[in-house]
C-alpha cells in the first residue's frame, strides 16, 4: 500500500524499499499525442488465466494541454481523466514526443549517453518543486553526479541526468545490445502527474510509442520462433526482429516517413480528399503504386538487410515479414515488396492472440479486425508490456 | 516517517488522528469501563433487591394465614402446658404427691414416698425453642399388692395422659398384700430458656 | 516470454488510484472511533440511569412495605417459637409408653407353678450429653433420642416347663405391644428374651430370671 505523506514523499507499506513491482491484472494502455483526429487510442486489457482479454477499446478525448515543450510549460498542471470504460486501476502511456529517442545500442554507449545527459539535455533553469516531486540532484549538475547515475543504471530502472530521463533494457540473444529510451525529464514528470491521485487510473508506466509497439505483437500466433516485423507508425517505420519472442533487433528505417507523411504524399500526389485516402488504397480505384513505390521500396531494401542480419548474425530464419500498423493499401505494399525485394509481407490483425470481441469497442465505426484496428497497436503494446511485466511483490 | 519533513496537512492529519485515538482510549478506560462496572454492580443490586422484594411479597401473602396458625399454636401449647408438672413450694415431689396420693390410696397403696430424680433432657427440634422442656422423673416408693400397684398405674395412665411410667420394681414383701413397690413416674416440665443467638444440638 | 518494458516512470512517482487516502481516512476513523466511544458511554450512562431508577423504585416499595413485613416477620417468629415448643413436647409424647394393660395381663398369665419374686422395668441409664464431632454450641438435648427399655421377671418355678409355658404365653396377645420377641438372632445382645435358670439349692424348684427387651422409647416424630 502506498501512502503519500508529502508532495515529495510517498512511502510504501508492505513493499520493498524501491517500491514493490506488482503484478498487474487490469491495465489500460493509451497512446498520447499521435496526432490522430479521433483522439487518443485506448485499450483496456485484463489478464486471465488463459491469456489476455480485451475489456474496452476506443478513442478517448486527449488531454486539455499538449505535451509541454519546456519546464515552464510543464509547470502548468494538467489533469486528465478517462471515460469510465477505461478506468482500470493502472494506466500505461505510449507517448509520442518530438524529444524522445529510442535506440538499439550497447551498454557502454548507453552509459555515455547517460553521462552526457542524453541526446537532448536541457540546462535551462527549471522549476524545482512545482511538481511537488524532488528533482534528482543529477539534473542540476552533470559532472559530479555522473558516477551515481551510471551506478544507478540497472535494466528497467529509469535514471535522470542532465534534464533527460533514461531507461535501458538488455536485448536477450542480441549479441550484447540494449534498448535505450529517453524522454525529457519535464515531460516525464508532467506525464506522471497527468492522471490524478485517488482516481482510476493512475500512471504505472510511461513508454515511448515506438517501444510500446514492440510488445504489441507478442501474442501473435504467427510470431513463431523467428520473425521480422515491420511497424508502420504515425511518424516513422520501425523494423523489429524477434527470436523466440525476445527482441533481438530494433531499428528505425532511415528516410522512411511515418503513416501520416505517407498519407499526405498520397493526398498530394493523387489529389485526394483527406477521407478518400484509405478508400483509394483499399479499393484500388486509382493505382497508388507509383506513389507508394518510392516509399515502400527503400523500406523493403532495409528489410532485406535486417533479415540478412538476423540470419547471419543471430541465426534467426524468417521467411515472411509481418506487417503491422498499416491502415490501408496492404496489397500494394505486398506487391512492391515482392517485386522489389522478393519479400513476402503478411499483415497481422492487431488483436490476434487476445480474447477480443467487437462488444468491447467503445464508439461507433470501430472494429477489432482489419485496418481500423491498427490504430490501437501502440496502446495495446503499452498495456501488454505492463501486464507481462513479472511482478516481484 | 520524519515529522520535520512532513507536509503540513499530513502533520495535521497525524496529530488529529493521534489526538482522537488518545481521547477515544481515555474515554474508554475512564468512562466506558467504569460504566460497565457500575452497570454490573447495579444489576447485582437490582437482583438482590428484587429477591428481597419477592420474599417480602411472599411472606406478606402467607401472612394472611398467620393469625389462624398463631391461635392454633397458642391453643395447643396452652393445652400441653396445662399438663406440665409445676413445682409446689419449689418441689416437684410435692407437686407429684398432691396429684398422686389420692389415687394411690384409692388403689390400695400405702406408705407413699416421693423423691425427685435427675431431670432428663428432651431432644430439641431444628428450630430451637426459646422455652425448652424436659422430663421430670419422680420416684414413688410404697407398699401394696401387685394388683394395687397395677391398678394405680392404670389409673395414672388414664387420668394423666402426659405421665409416663419410666420404671417399676415390685419385689416380694412380708406377704402378697404387702409388696415393696418402687415406681418412676415421669412428667414433662419446663426446662431451660434459650436466647436467640444460642445454637443447640439438632435432634437427629 | 517477457515483454521489453522500457518504463520511464520512477517508482517514487507512482500515485495511488485508491480514492481513500490514509491521511484523510485516519483522522476520520479516529474521530469516528472517539464519537463511537462517547456514544457507547452515553448508552451505558442511560442504562445506568434506568437501572438506578428501577432499583430506587424497588427500594421505595420495600421501604413502604417494611413495617407490614416486619410485623409479619415478627408474627412468623412467634409462630415458629410456639410451634417449636409444641414440637418438643410432642417428642415427649412420642416417647410415652403405657404398661397398665401389660401388667394387668401378666397377672393372668402366671401359672400356679410359677412364683414371681420380682418384676422390674429398670430405669434407663443416665443420658449421654456428648456433643457430635465438630459441634461447638451448647448441647441442649441428649446425644441419642431413643431409650432402651427392659422387662425383667424373676422368680421360682417347679421346673423348666412351667417357665417356658409362662414364656410362651407372654409371646402372644397384648404382650407383643410392649415386649420384643427375638429368639433367633446371632448377636446375643439383641436376643429377647434372655433366660437364666438354675436349680434352687434349698428346694426342688428352679430359680429363673427372664429379661425381655421392651419397645424403645423413641423421642422423635
Alpha helices in A199-272 (DSSP H): 209-215, 259-270
- Which residue has better confidence, A128 or B14? B14
SS3 at position B134: strand
Q: What residues have CB less than 8 Å from A307, skipping those under 6 apart?
A: A228, A318, A321, A343
pLDDT of A16 over the 80 cut: no
Provide the sign of the torsion angle of the four alpha carbons B104, B110, B116, B119, taken in this order. negative
Q: How many angstroms separate the Cα of B133 from the Cα of each of B20, B97, B190, C212?
A: 78, 21, 4, 30
Q: What integer pLDDT is reported at residue C201 of this predicted model?
A: 76
Distance CA B111, CA B143 (A): 6
Nearest CB neighbour to A158, from listed C3, C10, C17: C10
pLDDT of residue B7: 65
Longest dimension (CA), chain C: 149
Q: What average pLDDT does this structure show over A334-342?
A: 87
What pLDDT does residue A143 have?
44
Q: Is the pLDDT of residue B49 over 70?
A: yes
Report the residue from C4, C21, C23 with minimal CB separation from A247: C4
Q: What is the mean pLDDT of residues B53-58?
A: 92
Subunit contact C17:A202, Cβ cutoff 8 A: yes
Residues of C in contact with B117 (CB under 8 A): 123
The predicted pLDDT at position A5 comes to: 65
CA A327 to CA A332: how far, in whole Å?
Answer: 12
Burial of B185: CB neighbours in 10 Å, binned 0-12, 13-18, 19+: buried
Please say whether the beta carbons of A204 and A184 come within 8 A.
no
Task: With CB atoms and an 8 Å threshold, state whether A7 touches B7.
Answer: yes
Mutate to test the interface with C, among A7, A10, A87, A95 (most CBs of C within 10 A): A10
Structure confidence at residue C183 (pLDDT): 82
pTM of the complete model beyond 0.80: no
CA distances from A345 to A198, A239, A293, A342, B85 (A): 46, 13, 15, 10, 144
C27 touches chain B (CB under 8 A): yes
pLDDT computed for residue A136 by the predictor: 40
Q: What is the pLDDT of residue A318?
A: 83
pLDDT at residue B90 is higher than 60: yes
User: Could you give the CA distance from residue C204 to residue A142 in angstroms, rounded to a whole number?
Assistant: 158
The nearest alpha carbon in chain A to C26 belongs to A3
- A134 pLDDT higher than 70: no
Residues C53, C35: Cα–Cα separation, whole Å: 27
- What is the model's pLDDT at position A145? 46
**Min CA distance, C21 vs chain B (Å)?**
11
Select the residue from B6, B7, B9 to test the A interface by mutation, using most A Cβ atoms within 10 A.
B7
Q: Chain B residues with CB inside 8 Å of C103's CB? A: 149-150, 153-154, 168
What is the fold, at CATH topology level, of the domain defined by B88-193? Alpha-Beta Plaits (3.30.70)
pLDDT of residue C20: 74
* Angstrom distance (rounded) from CA B194 to CA B125: 13
ipTM: 0.82
Mean pLDDT of the region A116-131: 44
Strands A226-232 and A320-324: parallel
Contacts of B7 in chain A (CB under 8 A): 5-7, 9
Detail the DSSP E strand segments found in B64-144: 110-116, 120-121, 131-144
Q: How far is CA B197 from the centre of its chain?
A: 12
CA distance A205 to C5: 9
Q: Which residues of B touch C44 (CB under 8 A)?
A: 32, 35-36, 39
**Rounded-to-integer distance, Cα A391 and Cα C92, Å:** 102
Cβ contacts of residue A70 below 8 Å, gap of 6+? A122, A124, A186
What are the residue ranges spanned by the domains of chain A?
2-214, 225-347
% residues pLDDT > 90 (chain C): 50
A57: part of which helix (H) or strand (E)? Answer: strand A51-60
Distances (CA, A) of A110 to A118, A154, A172, A189, B189: 9, 11, 16, 21, 129
Q: Do B7 and A11 touch (CB under 8 A)?
A: no
Below-50 pLDDT ranges, chain C: none
pLDDT, average across residues A348-363: 91
Q: What's the whole-number mean pLDDT along residues A4-15?
A: 61
Q: Which band of pLDDT confidence, cut at 50, 70 and 90, is reported for residue A392? A: very low
User: What's the CA gap between C25 and C10, in Å, rounded?
Assistant: 26
On the question of pLDDT at A141 being above 50, the answer is: no
Q: Which residue of C has its CA nearest to A94?
A: C7
Q: Does C50 touch chain B (CB under 8 A)?
A: no
Q: State residue A60 phi and psi, 5-degree precision.
A: -110, 150
pLDDT tens column, B165-187: 999 999 987 788 889 999 999 99
Q: How far is A120 from chain C (nearest CA, A)?
A: 16
Residue A120's pLDDT band (boundaries 50, 70, 90)? very low
Q: What percentage of residues in chain A have a pLDDT greater than 90?
A: 34
Looking up cell 511497424, which residue turns up?
A231
> In terms of Cα–Cα distance, which of A264, A249, A378 is closest to A303?
A249
**Closest CA relative to residue A175, chosen from A103, A105, A111, A239:** A105
pLDDT in tens, A178-235: 899 999 999 999 999 999 888 889 999 999 999 999 999 988 888 887 889 999 988 8
Q: Chain A residues with CB inside 8 Å of B4's CB?
A: none
Whether chain B has a CB inside 8 Å of the CB on C91: the answer is: yes
pLDDT-derived band of residue A279, with 50, 70 and 90 as boundaries?
confident
- What pLDDT, in 10s, does the model give residues A30-86? 999 988 889 999 999 999 988 999 999 999 999 999 999 999 988 888 889 999 999
Provide the mean pLDDT of chain B: 90
Highest average pLDDT, of A182-191, A233-242, A311-320, comes from: A182-191
Over residues A150-154, the mean pLDDT reads: 62
Q: Which fold has domain A225-347?
A: Nucleotidyltransferase; domain 5 (3.30.420)
Q: Name the pLDDT band for A276 (thresholds 50, 70, 90).
A: confident
Each as own residue / partner, the long-range contacts of residues C33-37 (CB below 8 Å, 24 or more positions apart, any chain) are: C33/B20, C33/B21, C33/B24, C34/B20, C34/B21, C34/B23, C34/B24, C34/B27, C36/B24, C37/B24, C37/B27, C37/B28, C37/B32
Q: Read off the pLDDT band of A393 (50, 70, 90).
A: very low
Tell me the three cell numbers of residue B158: 388414664
Grid cell digits, residue C145: 433420642
Which one has a higher pLDDT value, C126 or A382?
A382
Nearest CA to CA, how far is C185 from chain B (Å)?
26
Interface size A-B, in CB pairs within 8 Å, comes to 13
pLDDT attached to residue B174: 75
Q: How far apart are CA C8 and CA A185, in angstroms?
A: 9
**Angle, CA C128 vertex, CA C123 and CA C129 arms, to 5°:** 135
Nearest-CA neighbor of A215 among A29, A13, A19?
A: A29
What is the reported pLDDT for B5?
60
The whole-number pLDDT of residue B116 equals: 94
Chain A residues within an 8 Å CB radius of C14: 2, 10, 19, 192, 202-204
Q: Count of alpha carbons within 13 Å of A14, Cβ hemisphere only?
A: 5
In angstroms, the CA A35 to CA A12 distance is: 37
Of A3-12, A219-228, A288-297, A305-314, the range with the lowest mean pLDDT is A3-12
Interface test with A, best of C5, C22, C24 (most A CBs within 10 A): C5
Q: Do the chains contact at B53 and C62, CB–CB below 8 Å?
A: yes
C1, C2, C3, C13, best to mutate vs chain A, most A CBs in 10 Å: C3
Question: What per-residue confidence (pLDDT) applies to C79?
Answer: 93
Length of chain B: 204
Contact yes or no for A379/A93 (Cβ under 8 A): no
Taking CA–CA distances from B12, the nearest residue in chain A reads A5
Say what the pLDDT of residue B13 is: 87
Residue A242 scores a pLDDT above 50: yes
Could you read off the pLDDT of B92-137 as tens digits, one per residue? Answer: 999 999 999 999 999 999 999 999 999 999 999 988 888 999 999 9
Amino acid at each position: 500500500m502506498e501512502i503519500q505523506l508529502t508532495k515529495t514523499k510517498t512511502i510504501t507499506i508492505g513493499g520493498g524499499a524501491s517500491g514493490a513491482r506488482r503484478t498487474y491484472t487490469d491495465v489500460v494502455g493509451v497512446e498520447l499525442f499521435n496526432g490522430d483526429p479521433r483522439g487518443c487510442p485506448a485499450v483496456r486489457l485484463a489478464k486471465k488465466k488463459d491469456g489476455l482479454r480485451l475489456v474496452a477499446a476506443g478513442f478517448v478525448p486527449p488531454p486539455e494541454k499538449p505535451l509541454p515543450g519546456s519546464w515552464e510549460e510543464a509547470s502548468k498542471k494538467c489533469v486528465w481523466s478517462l471515460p469510465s470504460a477505461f478506468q482500470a486501476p493502472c494506466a500505461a502511456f505510449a507517448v509520442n514526443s518530438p524529444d524522445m529517442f529510442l535506440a538499439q545500442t550497447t551498454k557502454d554507449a548507453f552509459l555515455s549517453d547517460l553521462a552526457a545527459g542524453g541526446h537532448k539535455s536541457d540546462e535551462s533553469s527549471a522549476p524545482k518543486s512545482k511538481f511537488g516531486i524532488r528533482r534528482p540532484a543529477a539534473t542540476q549538475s552533470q559532472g559530479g553526479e555522473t558516477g551515481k547515475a551510471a551506478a544507478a543504471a540497472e535494466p528497467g530502472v529509469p535514471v535522470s541526468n542532465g534534464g533527460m530521463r533514461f531507461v535501458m533494457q538488455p536485448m536477450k540473444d542480441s549479441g550484447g545490445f540494449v534498448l535505450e529510451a529517453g524522454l525529457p525529464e519535464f515531460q516525464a514528470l508532467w506525464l506522471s502527474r497527468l492522471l490524478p491521485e485517488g482516481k482510476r487510473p493512475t500512471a504505472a508506466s510511461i513508454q515511448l510509442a515506438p517501444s510500446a509497439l514492440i510488445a504489441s505483437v507478442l501474442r501473435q500466433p504467427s510470431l513463431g520462433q523467428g520473425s521480422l516485423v515491420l511497424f508502420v507508425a504515425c511518424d516513422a517505420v520501425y523494423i523489429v526482429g524477434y527470436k523466440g519472442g525476445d527482441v533481438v533487433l530494433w531499428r528505425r528505417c532511415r528516410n522512411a516517413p511515418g503513416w501520416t507523411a505517407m498519407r499526405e504524399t498520397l493526398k498530394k500526389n493523387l489529389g485526394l480528399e483527406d477521407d478518400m485516402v484509405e478508400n483509394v488504397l483499399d479499393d484500388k480505384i486509382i493505382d497508388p503504386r507509383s506513389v507508394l513505390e518510392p516509399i515502400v521500396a527503400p523500406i523493403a531494401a532495409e528489410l532485406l538487410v535486417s533479415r540478412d542480419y538476423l540470419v547471419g548474425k543471430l541465426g534467426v530464419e524468417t521467411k515472411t515479414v509481418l506487417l503491422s500498423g498499416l491502415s490501408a493499401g496492404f496489397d500494394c505494399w505486398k506487391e512492391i515488396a515482392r517485386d522489389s525485394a522478393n519479400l513476402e509481407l503478411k499483415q497481422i490483425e492487431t488483436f490476434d492472440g487476445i480474447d477480443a470481441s467487437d462488444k468491447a469497442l467503445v464508439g461507433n465505426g470501430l472494429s477489432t479486425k482489419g485496418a481500423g484496428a491498427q490504430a490501437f497497436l501502440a496502446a495495446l503494446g503499452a498495456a501488454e508490456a505492463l501486464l507481462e511485466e513479472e511482478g516481484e511483490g | 516517517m520524519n515529522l520535520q519533513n512532513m507536509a503540513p496537512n499530513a502533520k495535521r492529519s497525524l496529530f488529529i488522528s493521534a489526538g482522537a485515538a488518545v481521547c477515544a482510549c481515555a474515554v474508554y478506560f475512564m468512562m466506558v469501563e467504569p460504566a460497565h462496572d457500575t452497570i454490573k454492580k447495579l444489576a447485582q443490586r437490582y437482583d438482590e433487591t428484587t429477591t428481597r422484594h419477592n420474599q417480602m411479597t411472599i411472606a406478606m401473602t402467607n401472612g394472611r394465614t398467620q393469625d389462624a396458625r398463631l391461635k392454633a399454636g397458642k391453643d395447643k401449647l396452652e393445652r400441653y402446658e396445662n399438663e406440665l408438672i409445676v413445682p409446689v413450694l419449689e418441689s416437684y415431689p410435692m407437686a407429684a404427691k398432691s396429684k398422686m396420693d389420692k389415687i394411690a390410696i384409692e388403689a390400695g397403696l400405702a406408705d407413699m414416698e416421693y423423691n425427685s430424680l435427675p431431670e432428663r433432657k428432651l431432644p430439641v427440634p431444628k428450630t430451637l425453642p426459646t422455652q425448652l422442656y424436659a422430663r421430670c422423673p419422680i420416684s414413688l416408693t410404697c407398699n401394696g399388692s401387685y394388683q394395687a400397684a397395677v391398678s394405680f398405674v392404670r389409673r395414672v395412665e388414664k387420668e394423666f395422659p402426659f405421665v409416663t411410667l419410666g420404671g417399676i420394681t415390685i419385689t416380694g414383701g412380708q406377704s402378697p398384700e404387702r409388696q415393696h413397690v418402687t415406681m418412676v413416674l415421669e412428667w414433662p416440665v419446663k426446662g431451660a430458656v434459650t436466647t436467640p443467638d444460642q445454637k443447640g444440638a439438632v435432634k437427629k | 516470454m517477457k515483454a521489453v518494458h522500457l518504463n520511464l516512470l520512477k517508482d517514487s512517482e507512482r500515485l495511488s488510484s485508491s480514492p481513500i487516502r490514509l491521511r484523510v481516512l485516519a483522522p476520520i476513523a479516529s474521530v469516528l472511533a472517539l464519537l463511537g466511544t462517547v456514544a457507547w458511554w452515553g448508552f451505558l450512562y442511560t442504562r445506568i440511569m434506568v437501572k438506578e431508577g428501577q432499583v430506587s423504585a424497588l427500594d421505595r416499595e420495600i421501604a413502604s412495605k417494611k413495617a407490614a413485613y416486619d410485623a409479619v416477620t415478627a408474627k412468623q417468629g412467634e409462630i415458629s417459637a410456639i410451634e417449636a415448643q409444641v414440637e418438643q413436647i410432642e417428642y415427649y409424647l412420642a416417647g410415652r409408653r403405657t404398661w397398665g394393660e401389660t401388667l394387668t395381663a401378666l397377672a393372668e398369665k402366671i401359672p400356679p407353678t410359677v412364683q414371681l419374686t420380682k418384676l422390674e422395668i429398670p430405669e434407663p441409664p443416665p443420658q449421654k450429653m456428648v456433643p457430635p464431632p465438630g459441634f461447638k454450641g451448647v448441647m441442649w438435648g441428649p446425644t441419642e433420642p431413643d431409650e432402651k427399655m427392659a422387662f425383667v421377671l424373676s422368680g421360682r418355678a417347679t421346673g423348666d416347663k412351667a417357665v417356658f409355658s409362662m414364656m410362651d404365653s407372654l409371646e402372644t396377645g397384648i404382650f407383643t405391644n410392649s415386649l420384643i420377641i427375638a429368639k433367633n438372632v446371632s448377636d446375643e445382645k439383641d436376643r429377647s428374651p434372655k433366660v437364666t435358670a438354675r436349680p434352687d439349692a434349698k428346694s426342688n424348684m428352679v430359680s429363673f430370671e427372664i429379661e425381655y427387651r421392651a419397645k424403645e422409647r423413641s423421642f422423635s416424630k
